[in-house]
Structures are given as structure tokens and as C-alpha cells.
């Protein structure tokens, strides 16, 4: 297991290129199962969750080859089985995304039930209820979801709660169903829109993705296509906070500022100067310290829960007191205990962290507990005095493409070392 050693205090400066979106590529890779001919997926981030998905697909018998410039060619025609085992699903909950496509295309699937995870219970009742409404028979037995169907049938499904992967799973299932499915209270995240665009590129007929009512007209078959994944808005936001927290100036390239309205608004409120073009964002905080901001997470277009921990780090060294309220997951404050080890002044009231900025954090050994918590500890380390050692960084490797190399290219003193 590796660690990251960070020597804080360097204002970041320079340019960084953002990778493809982890949370867009995972459903798109699962969605390749819907096609009957090879699919090329481009702008694939080099992150561990992608490797896990590829391993799952190889075990199902799919043929995968790497192309140039972060592309993968997937041939779904060679599929041999429709089984997603516990040992893979337990390491990556997004494996549940194969359930909808497998059922829609092959009429059967056996997928391990994902357990709870560090940030919350994260049940999949809405995924299963939606598939049942489309005519699937589902049995949950011995820790596995065992599902069968004849051709799925279009249905009107009102989802109790806004769920990103739930919307994606049902959208994929509905795309090969007989008739039209209407998903009400659908997630509006850009990653949902990217998946819909991908399915439409394969010949699907999805309308109004990105609104809370998505219509999917089922088609008989979907064919391979050549698709480029959208940029990672959370990776973008993480580097923007890295620039802001260190009093630096950074140009983020190959991104899309339109995906980050709520995050950019909070960074401007914190005192950053932001300039942007079609596919770049520049943040300038040179010679200034951020002001605290109040954050309340919410489904898109609200403030993303996946940026909450990074803004807690920002508030920890900002001028004033800010409150951060987490409304999406019930247990997503594990970074707070670690921040306190660095000298942060925080107290938690229910689902709100009240953070009063301190003059300086002091380096310490800290432990990563989940992906975004890990990112926030690295950010805190970049500004802390002395050395911060972040342990259990396998969490960060799940979703950030070569983070220490990208930060080092901006001048950060950060090094990966074996334990
Ligand atoms: N929920 C249910 N029942 C369901 C599904 C969800 O009660 O059947 C609840 C969850 O427990 C949670 C809320 O609904 O309280 C929202 O969860 P959602 O289903 O939207 O989360 P997800 O689809 O499992 C995706 C991202 C997460 C991101 C959330 C929220 C992927 C692969 N994962 O998870 O990303 O935090 O949406 O935006 O897209 C991350 O990248 O670090 C990460 C955790």
C-alpha cells in the first residue's frame, strides 16, 4: 500500500489537463453491453475504477483492447456470462450499473448486492423497483440480485429519491425495452446526459436527459459507436480548490466550465478571480487568503456532494466561519476528524460541519477513508506547515488520474512512497 508525502506551503502555478470523467465513463462502459458490435470509448481516465470495470467485463467474456490516446475498444459480442461477483462489486459499487444493460440485452443477470460503504448505506431499492416496473423478476438471495425477464416493457417510473446511478441503470434498461419509459424525478447530472448521448450515438432514442423527466423510446437493437467521454468536473473542481487554498494561479485545460456553475460561484464568493473559455478555467488567488463560504450539497445543479470535502479543507484555512451541510449521504464527514489532527477548528452539528478558519494547519499523518475525503486531505496537506503523510491512498487512485504527478507539475512538493 502506498502513501503520499506532502510538504505544504507552495502556491500552485501552471497548467493542468483534466481527464475524462470517472462517473461518466463507468456507466458508459457498462452501457457498451447494450450494443451488438464494437464500441470505441475515448478520453478514458487512467483510474482504478476503470480497471475494475474492465476486469468485470473481461470476466464476462468481453474482448477489450486499448487504442491510442486513452481509448478502449470493447466488443460486447463475445459475452459468455452475465455474472458480477461479490469480490469485484464490493470494491466498486458502480458495478451495479451492469444490471440494467445485462437484463435488457440478455434477459438475465446475477449481480452481487453492493454492501453499505463508508459514506452511507446506499441501498439500490430504486434500481430494483424500476426494473420490476419494466417487467423483470427479481430475487435477492445469498447476497446476490438474481434477475430475469423476457423483453422489458416501457413503464412510467417515479423515483422516490434523486439517484444518479439509479437513473442511469433504468435509462440503459429502458433503451432496449418494448415501448416508452418515462423516468420521473430523474437525476440531472451531466454524467446522466453523457450516458444518454452515448446511447443515442448507438442508435438509442432518449429525450430530455438533463431534466427531471427523461423519456426513453425503446429500440430493437443498438450498434457500436465511437464516443468521447466528457471531462471530469470533480477533478476540475479539486484542482481549482488546490489553487485557491494555496494562494496560487492555475489554468485548467480540457474541461468544461458549464458543468461547474455552483462550484465556480462558491470559489468567487471565497475571493478567487475566475476566467474561463469554452474548454478552460483559470483561477487566480495569488497573494490572497480565501474567505469562508457556506455550502449545502444537493443533486445537480446544486452543489455536488463530491466537492464537499474539498471545500471543508478550504474553509479550514479561510478567513471567518463557514457551515457545510451534507444532504445527499448520511455519513460523509470522515475527513473532519483527520482535519482536526492537522489543527482545524471544526464542530459537527447533525449533518452540518461548522468550520472556523485557522491561521495555519500543521502537517501530521492522516488516513484516507474514501475517494473525496482523500482528495481533501491532500489539499489540506498542500497548505499545512511541514509534512503531511496521507495513508491508504488506494482510495484516491480509484478516481483521480495520476494526482501526484499533476500536482507536482504545478509545483507541489508531493511524493508517492511505498509503505
Ligand atoms: N438511494 C436510495 N436508493 C437507491 C439509490 C440511492 O435510497 O436505490 C440514496 C442513496 O443512499 C443516497 C442518495 O440516494 O443517499 C443519492 O445517491 P445516488 O444513488 O445518487 O448515488 P450513486 O448513484 O450511488 C453517484 C456517484 C457518486 C456521487 C453520487 C451523488 C457514480 C459512480 N457515483 O453515486 O460519486 O457522490 O452519485 O452525486 O456515479 C464519487 O465519485 O466519489 C462518488 C461517491
Q: What is the torsional sign of CA 149, 154, 158, 159?
A: positive
Residue 26 Cα: closest atom of ligand 1: 32
Mind giving me the DSSP string for 197-247? HHHHHTT-EEE-BTBSEEEEE--S-B---EEEPPB-HHHHHHHHHHHHHTT
pLDDT confidence of residue 368: 86
| pLDDT tens track for 352-401 | 999 999 999 999 999 988 999 999 999 999 999 999 999 999 999 999 99
Contact criterion met (CB below 8 Å) for 174 and 182: no
pLDDT at 116 > cutoff 70: no
Other Cβ atoms within 10 Å of 178 Cβ, number: 14
Q: How far is the CA of 354 from the centre of ligand 1 (A)?
A: 24
What residues contact residue 104 under an 8 Å CB cut-off, 6+ apart?
Answer: 34, 152, 172, 173, 174, 175, 176, 177
**Active site members:** 117
pLDDT confidence of residue 164: 98
Contact criterion met (CB below 8 Å) for 374 and 347: no
Mutate to test the pocket of ligand 1, among 138, 163, 171, 263 (most ligand atoms within 8 A of CB): 163
Q: How far is the CA of 127 from the centre of ligand 1 (A)?
A: 11
* Residue 11 DSSP one-character state: P
Whole-number CA gyration radius for the chain:
21
| pLDDT tens track for 280-302 | 999 999 999 999 999 999 999 99
| pLDDT tens track for 329-346 | 988 999 999 999 999 999
Contact criterion met (CB below 8 Å) for 392 and 368: yes
How far apart are alpha carbons 305 and 30 in whole angstroms? 23
pTM higher than 0.85: yes
C-alpha grid cell for residue 401?
A: 488520474
Mean pLDDT of the chain: 96
Q: Single out the residue of 180, 92, 94, 171 nearest to residue 131, CA to CA.
A: 171
Mind giving me the DSSP string for 258-270? GG-HHHHHHHHHT
- Which residue has its alpha carbon closest to ligand 1 atom 14? 163
pLDDT at 175 > cutoff 80: yes
Confidence of residue 119 (pLDDT cuts 50, 70, 90): confident
Residue with cell 435477492: 140
Could you give the C-alpha distances from 72 to 31, 40, 44, 153, 197, in angstroms and in order?
A: 14, 6, 7, 32, 18
Classify each residue of 7-24 as buried b or exposed e, where b means 16 or more C-beta atoms within 10 Å of its C-beta. bbbbbbbeebebbbbbbb
* Residue 207 DSSP one-character state: E
Residue 330 Cα: closest atom of ligand 1: 15
How far apart are alpha carbons 403 and 399 in whole angstroms? 9
217, burial (CB in 10 Å: exposed 0-12, middle 13-18, buried 19+): middle
Contact criterion met (CB below 8 Å) for 117 and 329: no
Residue ranges lining ligand 1, Cβ < 6 Å: 23, 26, 93-94, 120-127, 161, 163-166, 191, 305-306, 328-329, 371-372, 399
Amino acid at each position: 500500500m502506498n502513501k503520499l508525502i506532502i510538504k505544504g506551503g507552495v502556491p500552485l502555478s501552471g497548467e493542468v489537463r483534466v481527464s475524462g470523467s470517472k462517473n461518466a465513463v463507468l456507466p458508459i462502459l457498462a452501457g457498451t453491453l447494450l450494443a451488438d458490435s464494437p464500441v470505441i470509448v475515448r478520453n478514458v481516465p487512467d483510474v482504478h475504477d476503470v480497471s475494475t470495470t474492465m476486469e468485470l467485463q473481461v470476466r464476462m467474456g468481453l474482448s477489450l483492447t486499448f487504442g491510442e490516446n486513452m481509448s478502449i475498444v470493447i466488443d460486447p459480442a463475445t459475452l459468455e456470462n452475465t455474472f458480477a461477483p461479490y469480490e469485484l462489486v464490493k470494491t466498486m459499487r458502480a458495478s451495479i450499473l451492469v444490471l440494467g444493460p445485462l437484463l435488457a440485452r440478455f434477459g438475465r443477470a446475477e449481480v452481487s448486492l453492493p454492501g453499505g460503504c463508508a459514506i452511507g448505506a446506499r441501498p439500490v431499492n430504486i434500481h430494483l423497483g424500476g426494473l420490476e416496473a419494466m417487467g423483470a423478476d427479481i430475487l435477492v438471495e445469498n447476497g446476490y440480485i438474481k434477475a430475469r425477464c423476457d423483453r422489458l416493457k416501457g413503464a412510467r417510473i417515479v423515483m422516490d429519491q434523486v439517484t444518479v446511478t439509479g437513473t442511469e441503470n433504468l435509462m440503459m434498461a429502458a433503451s432496449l425495452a418494448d415501448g416508452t419509459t418515462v423516468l420521473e424525478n430523474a437525476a440531472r447530472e451531466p454524467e446522466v446526459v453523457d450516458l444518454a448521448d452515448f446511447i443515442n450515438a448507438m442508435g438509442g432514442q432518449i429525450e430530455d436527459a438533463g431534466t427531471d423527466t427523461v423519456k426513453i423510446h425503446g429500440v430493437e437493437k443498438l450498434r457500436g459507436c465511437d464516443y468521447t467521454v466528457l471531462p471530469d468536473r470533480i477533478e476540475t473542481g479539486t484542482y481549482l480548490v488546490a489553487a485557491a487554498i494555496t494562494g496560487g494561479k492555475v489554468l485548467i485545460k480540457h474541461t468544461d466550465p458549464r458543468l461547474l456553475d455552483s462550484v465556480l460561484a462558491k470559489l468567487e464568493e471565497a475571493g478567487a478571480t475566475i476566467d474561463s473559455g469554452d474548454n478552460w478555467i483559470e483561477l487566480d488567488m495569488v497573494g490572497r487568503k480565501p474567505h469562508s463560504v457556506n455550502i449545502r450539497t444537493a443533486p445537480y445543479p446544486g452543489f455536488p456532494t463530491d466537492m464537499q470535502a474539498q471545500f471543508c479543507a478550504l474553509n479550514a484555512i479561510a478567513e471567518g466561519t463557514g457551515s457545510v451541510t451534507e444532504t445527499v449521504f448520511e455519513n460523509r464527514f470522515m475527513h473532519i476528524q483527520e482535519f482536526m489532527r492537522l489543527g482545524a477548528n471544526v464542530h459537527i452539528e447533525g449533518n452540518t460541519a461548522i468550520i472556523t478558519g485557522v491561521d495555519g494547519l500543521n502537517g501530521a499523518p492522516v488516513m484516507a477513508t474514501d475517494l473525496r475525503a482523500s482528495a481533501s486531505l491532500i489539499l489540506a496537506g498542500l497548505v499545512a506547515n511541514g509534512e503531511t503523510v496521507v495513508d491508504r491512498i488506494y482510495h484516491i487512485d480509484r478516481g483521480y488520474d495520476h494526482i501526484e504527478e499533476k500536482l507536482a507539475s504545478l509545483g507541489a512538493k508531493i511524493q508517492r512512497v511505498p509503505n
